[in-house]
Structure 1
């Protein structure tokens, strides 16, 4: 028995850190409990119109895009984690400027933000990095070697890894952005409303040790 326990402990210690915890399903309940609407910019005030709803049957979170610019913020502060999410825009005739995003390591009211951009022109990391005692804007669009985003109406898959001072974004199975020197080591996840209907599903969070 002692030998068996020792072997089991050795094997467990050899597992990759990313698999140290089971994934958490982040799909909000229908009343959005555990999530908070944060206006962009934070001082502008929240629009009374609620533009977020959960379709329980399809296990999908839908933003109608008609209630102003805001984050829907997951209320638990996080440090190191891997977030997976599927997303798609609702097609609209003649529309080409679809825009939204997934925020990671946001400050509580979103004044400091790192964002995985969702748009038909491509997906990449951009935002405001807190480092060297101040804020500095960054945009990794030029680092994106190819546009891996599918047309409106088709599902895309993001994997966002935050670990230490590094954030990595994979789109549909390939890394497109890799940011180092991240000053914010803790923060919040947010889903962005920016005037376009977008749906999210398979929101899976794996907290890293």
Structure 2
């Protein structure tokens, strides 16, 4: 039988253990680069930018046809960029600037139309792309899934596929209707993907040290906001 002092000591130890475990769980959450240092960022859709005039619509796959009416709509009041491709189409919006090393901050969410059953589970954020996306490197977006790097990159004198989904230790992507935050850091051939507080992928296999960034949409409605870029 334990006396009262022993019981108190056990209770204190248990409490400390709980606090330590809680701290360990929270310690893996890493603030975004934008939160850590708000200086030096360019707002790619804000009042000081060229808005959508600095972006070009491109078909997926490359060489396809685009509908005449653009599904990309920028609400200047809220700063939200939305896209719902007609007829279940797929396309991307390319920033018309070749970029070297940078950090890209993007917030996004799916907004299914009333009565819709499918979500835009193949939307994504591109970095280091060729201008026609025949070579592409994407942070996958999805309804409570995604949050990994996938694409086709230059390797051994050819374009080869890669998929880092199995390297993600914890899925942090939120359900449709909730905002997610991605940050992609590109330094040479290293691409790092940060998702809602954790580093999801670090990939050293990017086949090119420069390229285009962009936003992909397919089928359903997706929204983007706070698209910010910091050159490194």
So what's the TM-score if we normalise by structure 2?
Answer: 0.77
Stretch of structure 1 that moved more, 143-152 or 80-89:
143-152
Paired residues in the alignment total 190
The aligned residue for residue 115 of structure 1 is 138
Which structure has greater helix proportion? 2
The alignment partner of 1:42 has SS state of: coil
In the alignment, the residues of structure 2 paired with residue 138 and residue 180 of structure 1 have an alpha-carbon distance, to the nearest angstrom, of: 12
Query: Which residue of 197, 207, 216 corresponds with 1:192?
Result: 216
Asked if 1:125 is matched to 2:149, the reply is yes
The alignment partner of 1:104 has SS state of: strand
In the alignment, the residues of structure 2 paired with residue 31 and residue 50 of structure 1 have an alpha-carbon distance, to the nearest angstrom, of: 15
The aligned residue for residue 84 of structure 1 is 105
The aligned residue for residue 175 of structure 1 is 199
**What do residues 65-124 of structure 1 show as CA deviations (whole Å, max 9, x unaligned)?**
326211100001101110001000003556354321001111011110000000022211
Segments of structure 1 that go 5 or more residues without pairing to the other structure are 1-17
Contact 1:116/1:169, CA 8 A, preserved across alignment: yes
Contact 2:84/2:218, CA 8 A, preserved across alignment: no
Query: Which residue of 60, 70, 75 corresponds with 1:40?
Result: 60
In the alignment, the residues of structure 2 paired with residue 41 and residue 163 of structure 1 have an alpha-carbon distance, to the nearest angstrom, of: 27
So what's the TM-score if we normalise by structure 1?
Answer: 0.85
In the alignment, the residues of structure 1 paired with residue 50 and residue 72 of structure 2 have an alpha-carbon distance, to the nearest angstrom, of: 9
In the alignment, the residues of structure 1 paired with residue 120 and residue 66 of structure 2 have an alpha-carbon distance, to the nearest angstrom, of: 22
Segments of structure 2 that go 5 or more residues without pairing to the other structure are 1-35
The aligned residue for residue 169 of structure 2 is 145
Query: Which residue of 3, 26, 44 corresponds with 1:26?
Result: 44
Structure 1 position 31, deviation (Å) = 6.7
The structure with the largest alpha-carbon Rg is 2
In the alignment, the residues of structure 2 paired with residue 148 and residue 96 of structure 1 have an alpha-carbon distance, to the nearest angstrom, of: 20
Q: CA RMSD in A?
A: 2.0
Asked if 1:63 is matched to 2:83, the reply is yes
